[in-house]
Amino acid sequence: MKWAYKVFVYLLLWLIPGIILAIPSIGILYSPTTESYYTKPTYDNIIRGVLSVLDYGKLEYEVINTSKVTSIPDNIKVLIDPSNGAISDSEINLVESYLMKGGKLIACYESGLKDAQAKNRSNFAYSKFLGVKFVSWDSGKYFVMKPTQTGVSVFKTDKNIPLSRGFTFVIDLTQNATPLAIWYTKDGKISNEKYPAAAVLSPFGVYFGENIFLQTSTNDELKSLVLNTIGYLLEEPISNVNPVFYLKASLDEKIATFETRLLESRKKIPKTQLYKMQEMLWEIKDASKKASDLSELKKLQKMVDLLEIQLLPQYNVQLRGIWFDSYAIRDCETPEKLRKQIRELHELGFNAIFPEVIYKGMTISPKISRFPQDPAFQD
């Protein structure tokens, strides 16, 4: 009767949704690329900070290892990027695809600011979604986050939140972003009059200028603030996405990154090639402003990709060859002795061998020529 019991249980789960086991709606983006960049002990410490928040709030969650998935699961409504500072293009595509479906993201500190080789990008990878623009890194005066009016509704507190390190990534805001908190010094002054934002809300999520997850383990006020942020985003409707707008923003970032690399490489490139690449880039930028559909923008992205290939390092390798005539090959007597001779030539610094495989109208092997085989090599 075990089968009947199983059928009864499945029917019960289907008829009474309230008893269905909870499916996690919160994901933690685990990046092996960032783990290598930070080192495992440091990255584990950051992850523990995230877990301390979710365990404190008794929330179900799923750890999403970017090396083991091809997409963010559909059940994930809020994705936490715990300052994944160095991420690959494939990891960015993973998150962007999730955001393009209307998902929400919590990011902080240097999330997506470096590529897989730990080289700085011109902007945060998710800047077009989170409404922030990288300005600089700063320290020494960013010790208190003071919620704005919008911040009070998101964080569910009007209390100042003290942070211990005094670090932040200084950010500028784009038109779709709203400040959630302002940075203050220990003595109550605004830390940065021009760029005061400590946390930002956009239709796609929240960004914190400091690595809050390095401090949540010992700061219950900060835990509550993050939990309330998660709760707020879970209740928000799915974002309306304009693919053309975001693809155009991606193209603009790609162009800006290439311009920086081109400037850095200008002394290594022949002038004629440099001028040609600059002219092509100007044409792409002009076309980007006029582009109005996805196919046009994708073509322009491919054109930038082709330009980037031209900046790849080209190495000059010295050719050190030796002519290996049929008598030298014959003197080796056996294939093993021939292999030994080739190894010795390699150790002497030769990197190319030009064997004489046809001599006096005869070949050393019938497999490489239609000429008759030299009797000396028939054995």
Whether pTM exceeds 0.85: no
φ, ψ (nearest 5 deg) of residue 171: -130, 150
SS3 call for 64: strand
Specify the pLDDT at position 169.
Answer: 94
- Tell me the C-alpha distance between 376 and 222, whole Å: 85
Indicate if the pLDDT at residue 357 is higher than 60. Answer: yes
Task: Look up residue 240 and give its amino acid.
Answer: N
CA distances from 134 to 47, 79, 122, 250, 305 (A): 24, 21, 8, 15, 23
- Tell me the C-alpha distance between 18 and 239, whole Å: 27
Specify the pLDDT at position 20.
Answer: 41
How many CB atoms lie under 10 A from the CB of residue 185? 15
Task: Express each pLDDT in 216-269 by its tens digit.
Answer: 988 999 999 999 999 999 998 877 777 777 778 778 888 888 888 888 888 888
Task: Look up residue 93 and give its amino acid.
Answer: N
For residue 356, give both structure tokens.
Answer: 């004489």
Task: Express each pLDDT in 145-177 by its tens digit.
Answer: 999 999 999 999 999 999 989 989 999 998 789
Would you say the C-alpha torsion 181, 168, 119, 112 has a positive or negative sign?
A: negative
Specify the pLDDT at position 315.
Answer: 66
Indicate if the pLDDT at residue 11 is higher than 50. Answer: no
Tokens 């990008």 correspond to what residue?
121
Tokens 């930070």 correspond to what residue?
38
